[in-house]
Structures are given as C-alpha cells and as structure tokens.
Amino acid sequence: MTRKTESATKRSPEAMDVEQWLHVYEKMVKIREFEEKANELYLKAIMPGLTHLYSGQEAVAVGVCEALRREDYITSTHRGHGHCLAKGASVDLMFAELLGKEAGYCRGKGGSMHIADPASGNLGANAIVGGSAGIATGAALSAKKRGSDQVAVCFFGEGALGQGLLYEVMNMASLWKLPIIYVCENNLYNEYTHYSEALAGKVTARAEAFGIHAETIDGQDVQLVYETTKRLVERARRGEGPAFLECMTYRYYGHHVGDISRTYYRSKEEEQEWRNKRDPLKLLADKLVGGKLTDQSVLDRIVTDVRSEVEKGMQFGIDAPYPDQSEVNQHVYA
C-alpha cells in the first residue's frame, strides 16, 4: 500500500492532558473487551445471529467521539459497537440488546446492527451499507435550521464509497455548508474483497470534487484522529461546512464473527503485522508509558476495572428477560 498517511509516530503526547488520555485509553479498552465478550457469546451459541466486531479500529471511534459533545450526532454502521460505546452507551444495555432482551437499548427489537441511543446523540446503526449518509446529513441540516451548534458525524466503511446516496448528500452538504464530518473507516476490505478491487481513483478526490475539505490519516493513532477531528469539528461549528476524513485502519477479526477462514482474501502475516505493529491500544500505551506520563500499573488497573465492568454487563444481558410476546406489534407506529 503506497497511501500517503500523516506519520504520527514522531508526535509526542506531552501536550496531552494525562487524565484525558487515560480516559481515552479506557474507552478503547472497553471496546476491545466488549468485542471479545461478544465473540465469546457467539462462539458459545448464546447470541442469536451474527455480529461484526470493531476490534482493531478502536482509535477511530474513540478519537472522533472524543472531539464531540454529547449532544452532537453520530450515525453508525453494521460494525457499530465501537461507535456506540465511544459516544457514551453503556455495556450492560448493549449486551442486553445484542442478546435480544427487553432491557436493551431498543428493547431487543434492533439487535447488534441497529443500536440507537438518541440520549447520547447516537441516531442509530444501519445495516444498509451507506444507508445513514442521508440521515446524518439531514441531522446536520436540522441542527442548522434549529440554530443549534450541533455537529453530525457520519461513520461508514470504505465499502459505502460504492453507494450513490453518499455523493448526493455530500453535494448538498457542501452547497448548504452543513455541519457534518464524513468519517470513512478504510479497513481495507469490503466484506471479502480488497478495496482496491472495488474503488477507482483517489478517495479524498471524491469529496474534493464537491468542494469538501478532505484528509487521509493513520486511523490507528488515536491522538491524531482526535486532533484532526477536533479541528474539523471546530470548523464545522463555525459554519465553515462539511469535511471528509479517511482513517486507515484494520479489523482484526473476520467480516463477521463467523468469518473464521480468511486466508483466501488476506494473509495471516498481514493480520499479524497490524496486530503487532499498528495496534491502537499498544500505540497509545507506549506513548503514555514511554513518555513517562503514566506507569504501566495504571494502565493495567484500567484493563482490570474495564474487564470486570464488561463481565458484569455481559452477565446483566444474559440474565435479563426477553421481551413479552405482546411487544411484537408495539412501536410499529408512534
């Protein structure tokens, strides 16, 4: 891959407020641990259906959402657990939703691919690839109409670059200077196909064609993702219009939990390379400990605490009751 990405390794975390970065680290660990448990629930046949794990991409969701306020909007994707947690959802209600329980965020009616938590600004995950581009852009239009200074972020995988809807709404977002950031998580694969087989030209050029400011960055460096997003969000809040951010990243697991044998589309070496050299959690830990901003023991403690929170949350989901059968035809109409 000969993509130009801004190098982050040289950047130091000194400017960071340590408390904030420990918080960021905790969020990334929470996503990682949540997904480990989600995978376990699938493997033990406790979880109905399939799910798409976010492991490996944590720095994108956390870095972006760290630059947002609670009332700012996001829309998410089929690979959405990371976005939910980063925007402020809690693990117990998420597990309950994954397991189809009434206590879940959507009373068990949404499931893994449809978690919505409007209270934390999460307008919902979407199982239609690129399907939320209109919704996110409409939320930005609404924010502008209501005179609020909310910003919307539309998360999508690079596979959504094949959907026409995205280009229709980017055109309108630019025309009307809407406060929206299009965050393209380029994890290299559209399901089982390398993106280079599905994508012509340069990604950022697509946004630039609409007069939208566009950048490609290393999506494994949470500090870089955060700082870049912060700049783009401030710009949008000032009324300077939309931006497009391509984050280069990687999913550690299969396209979904059942995608176990992957060698026909990507090598084990490639997977190891990303896990060993580009892991977003390790990269941040190295910066914090290496820069003597904190001790490894503090990070270990965070991991221990998060593990117990996730463990409890999972148990909550398992123990929670299913919805009553009378729920089946409730909420069809408001």
Orientation angle between helical segments 91-98 and 18-43, nearest 10 degrees: 20
Cβ proximity to Mg ion: between 187 and 216 the closer is 187
19 φ/ψ angles, rounded to the nearest 5 degrees: -55, -45
- Contact positions with ligand TPP (CB under 6 A) in 192-231: none
Report yes or no: 113 and 80 within 8 Å, Cβ to Cβ: yes
Among 126, 187, 223, 249, binds Mg ion (CB under 5 A): 187
Q: Decide if residue 216 touches Mg ion (CB under 5 A).
A: no
Among 100, 111, 138, 157, binds Mg ion (CB under 5 A): 157
Q: Decide if residue 27 touches ligand TPP (CB under 6 A).
A: no
Among 36, 102, 149, 191, binds ligand TPP (CB under 6 A): 191
Total of residues contacting ligand TPP (CB under 6 A): 15
Cβ proximity to other proteins: between 13 and 134 the closer is 134
Q: Give residues with Cβ within 8 angstroms of 132, minimum separation 6.
A: 75, 76, 77, 123, 124, 125, 126, 154, 156
Nearest to 88 by CA among 105, 102, 101, 100: 105
- Contact positions with other proteins (CB under 8 A) in 119-138: 123-124, 126, 128, 131-138
| Minimum gap (Å) between residue 22 Cβ and ligand TPP | 28
78 binds, among other proteins, Mg ion, ligand TPP, none (CB under 5 to 8 A by kind): ligand TPP
Greatest Cα-to-Cα distance within the chain, rounded to the nearest angstrom: 58
- 218, two tokens: 């290393």
Q: Strands of 81-151 (E only): list them.
A: none
Q: Decide if residue 57 touches Mg ion (CB under 5 A).
A: no
Q: Give residues with Cβ within 8 angstroms of 178, minimum separation 6.
A: 137, 140, 141, 144, 152, 172, 241, 242
Instruction: Round to whole Å and give the CA distance between 275 and 267.
Output: 13
| Choices 84-92, 133-141, 185-193, 214-222; region in contact with ligand TPP by CB under 6 A | 185-193
| Minimum gap (Å) between residue 200 Cβ and other proteins | 21
DSSP conformation class of 325: G
Residues of this chain that interact with ligand TPP (CB under 6 A) are: 52, 78-79, 127-129, 157-160, 187, 189-191, 255
Q: Enumerate binding residues for other proteins (CB under 8 A).
A: 73, 75, 104-110, 114, 116-118, 123-124, 126, 128, 131-143, 145-146, 152, 164-165, 168-169, 171-172, 175, 330-334
